[in-house]
Structure formats: structure tokens, C-alpha cells
Structure 1
Amino acid sequence: MSSSQRRSTMRVPPFFRRLFKFTSMDFETAVWEMTHLIIAPKKVFRNIYYHKQTKNSYHRADPAFTYLLALFLLLTGFAWGVAYAPGLGGTIRVTLVFVFVHFLGTCLAISTLMYFLVGRVLGKRRQGLFGPPIGGGGAEDALEFGYCFDVSIRAYLPIWTFLYVLQFLLMPLIAQDYRVSNFFGNTMYLMALSYYFVITFLGYNGAIYLNIGPTPGTWLTNHVALPFLSRTEILLAPIPVLAILWLISLFTFDCATNLAPILWCGIKLRKPV
């Protein structure tokens, strides 16, 4: 391998090079994405094609979305810690676990899994995380690890919204020993996880048709976001399973009091959830 090839394979990805260049981050777009991921998630992934055409990459090398969601996890971690953790040390531990374990650690683990799983089952894989695709295909025909991370952190937004924010606000109600409390608490988990898989599906779905016709309102269906992937409907398969588990849990299990995020921080709570 030549020295130029070695430098190419060892090159630091743009995402990491921009981690501390705050002035170059597009926080306005990140806020727009967060809003539309909740109300109209398909619009977010329609922009993939345009980004691919201008940057020649599906991956957005902009940490703004990651920073914003990490900040939100930090704030909600502080709220959970103040409410349930024993003292300042416990509160700090909760906030750090929320950000670095629940959010970043989980997203990195899932994006790595999806990179190999989606690449193997639904399309081609690359040689290494940032190398050329196996089998001689062009770079445009391979899944990028950075894009898997993009999808993962965006799919985490409904998890944060339902399970870290709404659950915290509604915990005094849904933690009660009533059937209706159990219903709303468990339904919140069903919605969060189902939304997670829907956004993941939209992120990898190669059949998102884009409004890029020659005249307004014209749809060119031969342009797709990820044309090298197929059978992405498999990613929606967990949702029926979740629905069945939700129905069973209404009579057997209380998600709010047994799966609350604060319970996964490795601390002894000052009071039960």
C-alpha cells in the first residue's frame, strides 16, 4: 500500500474534524430536523438526495444535531437527578449516564450493528468503516457508517421525547397503581419504540420518492434516497411484536415503574419512581 493510500485510509472523518468548530455547525437545520422528525419525519429524509448530490455523501458531517440532543439529554438528566437521585453526586452521575451511555453509547452500538446488518442483508458492505465497497461497486452503492450514525441519533429523538421528557412530567400520574395509569404508561413506551423503528425505516428506505421534477409538484420516481438497499420493510417487523407485547403488558407489567430511564443509571434512588 502506498503512502497516499495509507493516508487516505487513516484520514479522520469530517464529522470528527468539525466536533469543535461550532461556528460552522448548522444548528438551524438541526432544529428544523428535530421538529419535523416528530410531525413529518419523511421530509427529513427527503433531503438525503439533495445532500448526496451536493456533498457526494449520504452522511451529514455536521455534529449540530448530536450536540443539541446531547444538551437536551443533559438537561433532562439533571431534572431526573434532582427528582430521584441522592444528592449532587447522584445527579451528576445521572446526567453523564444519560448523555454518554443511554444516548451516545447506545447510538454508536446500534449504528455499528446496523452498518453490518443492513449492509449484509439489504445491500453491499464497505471494506472497513470508510473504505470502498466490497465487490467492486462504486462508492455511491455502499452504505456509510456515518450515515448509520445519522439515522441512529435521529431515531433516538422520539425515545427522548416520550421516555425522558413526557414520562418525567407524567410520572406522578402514570406511576399510580391504577389500570388507566398502566395503560398510558405502557402506551407511551409503545409509541416511543414504534416511532423509533419508523424513523429507522425511513432512514434506510430506498423508496422515498423525491420532488425533484422539472416543474413544481412533479415527482421523478426513478430517483430514490438509498437506491442500493432493498427489502427495507424488514425494519418495521418489530412493531407488530411490540404491539403484542404491549397488549400483554397491560395485564402483567408496568413499564413506567420498571423501565424508567433513571433505573438504568446504576444508583440507589432517593425515592421510588
Structure 2
Amino acid sequence: MTVTNIHLSNPCNIASAYSKCGRYLRKILKFDQMDFQFAMWQMLYLFINPQKLIKLFQARKLAKSQYARDDPAFLVLFTGALCVTSIGFSLVLQLSIMQFIMFLFFVIIVDCLCLGIMVATLFWYVTNTFLKPKNSLQDVEWGYSFDIHLNAFFPPLILLHFIQLFFYNGIISHQWFLSVLLGNTFWLCSCLYYFYITFLGYNSLSFLTNSRYFLAPVPWIVVVYIIGYCKYN
């Protein structure tokens, strides 16, 4: 959702935010107006060069006065990727039809939307409250926070819900050291991707200070990764 610059004390900003949100939602079923090729390009660069994608958001701010996406093509493709990878996940785990439906519901509604909204709202509040100078005239857009979450969530989705499946039955599902190593490494890479892309997203906002705090969980994640092997041995 593209909701920008929300000041509770300014009704004009709230009206503008709802207006942009309404335009975004009205576009979500107009597939002929979406740039899916560009959205796929963004997904590719989240893996190979996320810094380049962040520059795109900066260019959008200059051109359209907002950082957040105004084209729902990325969200539509993201949801499609969730559905396709969930089918593969269900086939590998041999889930029943009902189990697949419940799994798909959980992945899309809980993992993606509910958790995404919660994380985006938390980071939106934290950045505007603690990382933004009080004299700054700019705010972090809620829609941009949600976009950052989607960007950061996509590589873990592909790593854990797609690439990992090719190794699950042959290696990861066993009680071998290699199984633990490979499975934990997938999770490590996913977490590192998430926090690194999150950091890049907020670090690109020049009016924020100390955005490096978004990298704070990384050392702890690495420590947990190492401890996992110590316990295994």
C-alpha cells in the first residue's frame, strides 16, 4: 500500500495518504496497466545488486514525490511467487489438499501480509520517532516501509521456499551433519539478506541517522548459527 507522510496533526496529509492508497488499490486488478517486466527486473536485482534497486526508489522520489511504489505489479508477482513456491513446498512435504490450503493461507495472510504490516509499521514508527532529526521536514512513508519489507522478504522466500526444496529430500531431511550445515546456511543467508536489504532501504534516506542499527541483529544471527553446530557436535 502506498501511504505516505502521515502526520496525525495534519488532516491534509492524511487525506493525501488515503488518496494514494485508494489509487494503488484501484490499480491492483488492472493487469494491463502494470509493468510486470520492470517488476521482474526488480526481483532479479534484489539478488544480484540490491543497491541498484534502492537508487530506483530515490529516482521515484524525485519524479513522483514519493519513495513507495505506485505500481502494484511487484506485489502481484510477489503473491504469485508465494503461491507457486507453496505448491512446490506442499509437493515435497506431501501435504494433503486441506493442509496445502491452510499452509497457503498462513504463508500469504500471516507471513506476508499480517507480519509484513506489523514489521513495516514498527520500522515506520521507529524511524520517524527515533532515527529522524526533530527539525526534519521529511518523514519515512509507511508505504516505503512496506516496500522495504517486501524487498527484504523476497530473497528469503526464494531461498527457503524454492531453492531449498531441491535439497530437502536428498540431504536436509536427514540427521546428518551436512543436513544441519546446509539447512542452517539457508536460514543464515535468508536472515542476512533480509536485514541487509532493510538496512539499504532506510540508509538511502539521507534525513535518517543511525540507520546502521538495522544491521544490529546480524552478529547475533551469526552467533546463533555457530552455536547450532556446537550443540550438534
* TM-score normalised over the length of structure 2: 0.87
Which of 171, 185, 202 in structure 2 is aligned with 1:204?
A: 202
**How far off its partner does 1:242 sit?**
0.5
Which of 211, 215, 218 in structure 2 is aligned with 1:236?
A: 215
**How far off its partner does 1:71 sit?**
0.5
**Superposition pairs of residues 92-107 of structure 1, within 5 angstroms:** 92-107=101-116
- CA offsets 1:200-241 (integer angstroms, 9 cap, x no match): 0000113xxxxxxxxxxxxxxxxxxx1211111111111111
Unaligned 5+ segments in structure 1 are 125-134, 207-225, 254-273
**Identity in percent:** 29
Closer, same or farther: CA 6–104 of 1 in aligned 2, 3 Å: closer
Which of 23, 26, 39 in structure 2 is aligned with 1:30?
A: 39
What SS does the corresponding residue of 1:247 show, helix, strand or coil? helix
* Root mean square deviation, CA, Å: 2.2
**How far off its partner does 1:117 sit?**
1.2
Unaligned 5+ segments in structure 2 are 1-8
**Superposition pairs of residues 12-27 of structure 1, within 5 angstroms:** 13=21, 14-27=23-36
In 1, the alpha carbon distance for the partners of 2:226 and 2:51 equals: 28
In 2, the alpha carbon distance for the partners of 1:4 and 1:197 equals: 34
Q: Is contact 2:89–2:162 with CA below 8 Å preserved after alignment?
A: no
Partner of 2:4: none
In 2, the alpha carbon distance for the partners of 1:5 and 1:47 equals: 24
Counterpart AA for 1:201: F
Partner of 2:185: 187
**How far off its partner does 1:252 sit?**
2.6
In 2, the alpha carbon distance for the partners of 1:109 and 1:7 equals: 22
Partner of 1:120: 129
Closer, same or farther: CA 10–59 of 1 in aligned 2, 3 Å: closer
**Superposition pairs of residues 259-270 of structure 1, within 5 angstroms:** none
- CA offsets 1:142-187 (integer angstroms, 9 cap, x no match): 1100000110001001110111112222112122111122111111
Partner of 1:263: none
Closer, same or farther: CA 31–86 of 1 in aligned 2, 3 Å: closer
Deviates more, 1:11-20 or 1:143-152: 11-20
Q: Is contact 1:78–1:92 with CA below 8 Å preserved after alignment?
A: no
Q: Is contact 1:33–1:44 with CA below 8 Å preserved after alignment?
A: yes
What SS does the corresponding residue of 2:196 show, helix, strand or coil? helix
Partner of 1:161: 158
Q: Indicate the structure with greater helix content.
A: 2
Q: Is contact 1:27–1:64 with CA below 8 Å preserved after alignment?
A: yes
Closer, same or farther: CA 9–69 of 1 in aligned 2, 3 Å: closer
In 1, the alpha carbon distance for the partners of 2:68 and 2:214 equals: 20
* TM-score normalised over the length of structure 1: 0.75
Which of 4, 13, 19 in structure 2 is aligned with 1:11?
A: 19
Counterpart AA for 1:180: L
Which of 56, 63, 69 in structure 1 is aligned with 2:65?
A: 56
Counterpart AA for 1:165: F
Q: Is contact 2:88–2:162 with CA below 8 Å preserved after alignment?
A: no
Partner of 2:3: none
Question: Structure with the greater relative contact order (CA < 8 A, sep ≥ 6): 1 or 2?
Answer: 2
